[in-house]
């Protein structure tokens, strides 16, 4: 049976925008994407969360952070904790490959961040994905399996489900390269991800976990991913800074949401 999962489009602005211009960009994007049956999230840099939150108030577009510290408070210069974020964001991206690369984040550390996020009620988007050499060596499913085990094994699956855990499959070779994966690759990995989740305590409820694709998503290629029933949306990088692209991506996701709802495969709009 197909579980009822929402369609989700999340924009990861990475290290772009300033507090002076982020609000205006968020307003423009919210206007362009309009009210659709799609969970919409914008994840700006920490320092832009307040401006983006103000700009998005009443639009139905949610705000997310791009990272959170694994401790609640303490002597961690330059870091941002989960309790600091709760009044500014309702979502958080965790384990992005750029943080694994630049900040040396391990699966174990990412798992602890996940615990902190759900402790305060932030909805987590856990990123996984393989490097090109790993894909070429036929190791992609093993790499993603190890990432999921490292971050999630031993954690309370029920609590993660209650928190609305989302997994983003972002093959590293597809991020910022203009070289997107095939829809069928992403769908195959989504199946792997749900199989792994089922084996580490999620059981049949692994079908409830939304899985997004990320990596060079554009308005032109989003239909290929949304055509796959196991893919529930996208985590969008570069294109999420372009209102026209976001309008195209979210518009297409709205078409998918309507079709899935008619087919009885979509839950109530939620998550914003
Ligand atoms: P791009 O869409 O720019 O490839 O980035 C994807 C990504 O990393 C989203 O988190």
d(C-alpha 183, C-alpha 197), whole Å: 21
How many Cα neighbours within 13 Å face the side chain of 170? 29
Q: State mean pLDDT over 112-138.
A: 97
pLDDT at position 269: 56
Total domains in the fold of the chain: 1
Residue 217 in domain: yes
CA separation, residue 155 to residues 54, 110, 138, 151, 197 (Å): 34, 12, 28, 8, 11
Residue 270 in domain: no
Q: Is 170 a catalytic residue?
A: yes
Res. 136: pLDDT tops 60 = yes
pLDDT tens, position by position, 11-32: 999 999 999 999 999 999 999 9
Res. 35: pLDDT tops 90 = no
d(C-alpha 89, C-alpha 101), whole Å: 24
For the CA of 96, the nearest atom of ligand 1 = 10
Among residues 98, 105, 134, 170, the one annotated as catalytic is 170
Residue 271 in domain: no
Res. 196: pLDDT tops 80 = yes
pLDDT at position 272: 44
Banded model confidence at residue 267, pLDDT cuts 50, 70, 90: low
pLDDT at position 1: 42
Residue 272 in domain: no
pLDDT tens, position by position, 254-264: 999 999 998 88
Q: State mean pLDDT over 142-160.
A: 97
Domain that holds residue 255: 2-265
What CATH number is given to the structural domain containing 42?
Answer: 3.20.20.70
pLDDT tens, position by position, 209-235: 999 999 999 999 999 999 999 999 999
Residue 37 in domain: yes
Give the other-Cβ count within 10 Å of 47's Cβ: 12
User: What average pLDDT is seen over the chain?
Assistant: 95
Residue 268 Cα to ligand 1 midpoint, Å, equals 27
What is the rounded end-to-end Cα distance, in angstroms, of the chain? 26
Res. 100: pLDDT tops 70 = yes
pLDDT at position 271: 46
Best residue among 8, 12, 66 to mutate for probing ligand 1, ranked by most atoms within 8 Å of CB: 12
Residue 133 in domain: yes
């Amino acid at each position: 049976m197909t579980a009822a999962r929402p369609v989700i489009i999340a924009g990861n602005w990475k290290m772009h925008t300033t507090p002076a211009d982020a609000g205006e960009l968020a307003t423009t994007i919210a206007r362009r994407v309009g009210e659709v049956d799609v969970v919409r999230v914008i994840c700006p840099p920490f320092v832009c969360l307040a401006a983006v939150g103000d700009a998005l108030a009443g639009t139905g577009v949610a705000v997310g952070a791009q990272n959170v510290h694994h401790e609640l408070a303490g002597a961690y210069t330059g870091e941002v904790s989960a309790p600091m974020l709760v009044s500014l964001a309702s979502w958080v991206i965790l384990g992005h490959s750029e943080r694994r690369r630049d900040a040396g984040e391990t699966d174990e550390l990412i798992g602890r961040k996940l615990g902190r996020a759900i402790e305060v009620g932030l909805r987590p988007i856990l990123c996984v994905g393989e490097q090109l050499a790993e894909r070429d060596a036929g190791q992609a499913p093993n790499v993603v399996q190890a990432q999921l085990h490292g971050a999630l094994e031993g954690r309370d699956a029920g609590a993660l489900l209650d928190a609305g855990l989302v997994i983003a499959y972002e093959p590293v070779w597809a991020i910022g390269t203009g070289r997107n994966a095939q829809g069928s690759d992403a769908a195959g990995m989504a199946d792997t991800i749900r199989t792994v989740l089922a084996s580490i305590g999620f059981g049949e409820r692994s079908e409830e976990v939304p899985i997004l694709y990320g990596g060079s998503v554009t308005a032109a290629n989003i239909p290929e991913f949304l055509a796959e029933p196991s893919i529930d949306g996208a985590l969008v990088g570069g294109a999420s800074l372009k209102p026209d692209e976001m309008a195209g991506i979210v518009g297409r996701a709205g078409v998918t949401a309507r079709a899935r709802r008619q087919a009885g495969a979509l839950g109530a709009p939620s998550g914003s």
